[in-house]
Amino acid sequence: MTAFDVGLGGAECRLELDGGDDVPLPVDRWHEDANDADHVLLDACHGPTIDLGCGPGRLVAALTRRGIAALGVDHSPVAVALARGRGGAALHRDVFGRLPGVGRWAHVLLADGNIGIGGDPVVLLRRARGLLNGRGSVLVEVEPPGCGLRRERARVDGGAWFDWARVDARAIRPTAARAGLKPRWLAERDGRWFTELVRS
């Protein structure tokens, strides 16, 4: 069982951060079809796309319906089963482990706060960069301006602590630069913020 399996099962849950913040997780959004704000990311995908931390697979399923080759990756078998149930392709893997298509993906998705996976956004962005082909991009959902870059410990509803991070719309540029990436654009829709990162 993984930390996020409660939410993957549909129950309301919260991300507790050791800095004192308590953040409700968007469980309903995970399980719904892609919404208007999600299309900021989806519309930027023009070739094979890998979604790191795909959860129940709404973005993978949406891309598949558009005829774009897409693969979800999640460390939760519950998430992978849900993603496959929606008609998406998904693998039960660690995003830092062996993945198919290294160096050949057109896009890497990091939505729903997944820039926080592993607790070090620079390491994660370097991993994402290594998955891309020469013209590829990393499509990232970031926090609204205000929190900067925060590396912290987190847990879901009183469970075990794990490493997590948050990056806001202002901090993404210097953070990406340390991974050899730079923003092509930054956009806000419905209170959510997104950026496309390309090689520097």
Two tokens, residue 132: 């891309």
The reported pLDDT for the residue numbered 106 is 98
Has residue 1 got a pLDDT over 70?
A: no
What pLDDT digit, counting tens, does each position of 5-60 carry?
877 888 889 999 998 889 899 999 999 999 999 999 999 999 999 999 999 999 99
Two tokens, residue 146: 């205000």
The reported pLDDT for the residue numbered 2 is 80
The reported pLDDT for the residue numbered 9 is 83
What pLDDT digit, counting tens, does each position of 161-195 carry?
999 999 999 999 999 999 999 999 999 999 999 99
pLDDT top residue among 196 and 20: 196
Domain, as residue range, for 181: 5-199
Handedness of CA 69, 186, 39, 32 (dihedral sign): positive
pTM of the predicted model as reported, rounded to 2 decimal places: 0.96
Number of domains in the chain: 1
User: How large is the greatest C-alpha to C-alpha distance in the chain, in angstroms?
Assistant: 43
CATH code, domain with 63: 3.40.50.150
What pLDDT digit, counting tens, does each position of 76-113 carry?
999 999 999 999 999 999 999 999 999 999 999 999 99
The predicted model gives 140-153 an average pLDDT of 97
